[in-house]
Amino acid sequence: MTILDIKDTYTTGIDASLEKIDNIDMKYSNVSIYRTNGGATTDFGIVVRQEKNIFPGIVLVKDLYNKYHMVEASSQVIDEDTIFITITVQQTDEKEFTLKRFVYF
């Protein structure tokens, strides 16, 4: 995060490194799904948090899931206390190499 990123977060109130992609209202709290983005040299990740507003501006947060190398997530409410979340992993890049006995020849 650069100084410009911090300035943008301060002026807009939006942190680009933690993008909210879904919010599910449950009976006693909310479940929020975020995509993490650390910039050009890092991969995306998914964070799932249970959030409960205690007082205005005070939120109790519990991380339910936090995984790196993830791209998308979708949710489905099962009942008032249960949520089903599907998380998508990035496509795997596979290559096959045939090695020679001597590295440089």
Task: Give the model confidence (pLDDT) of 54-75 as tens digits.
Answer: 888 888 888 888 888 777 787 8
What digits encode the pLDDT tens for the residues 15-36?
Answer: 677 888 889 888 788 888 898 8
Q: Is there a domain that residue 2 lies in?
A: no
If pLDDT is split at 50, 70 and 90, which confidence band does 97 have?
low
Number of structural domains in the chain: 1
The residue ranges of DSSP E strands in 1-105, in sequence order, are 18-25, 30-37, 44-55, 58-68, 70-79, 82-89
Q: Is there a domain that residue 105 lies in?
A: no
Query: Who's near 44: CB < 8 A, 6+ residues apart?
Result: 35, 36, 37, 69, 70, 71, 90
pLDDT(96) > 50:
yes
Q: Is there a domain that residue 70 lies in?
A: yes
In the 8-state DSSP scheme, what is residue 102?
S
> What is the C-alpha R_g of the chain?
19
Print the domain residue range for 71.
16-89
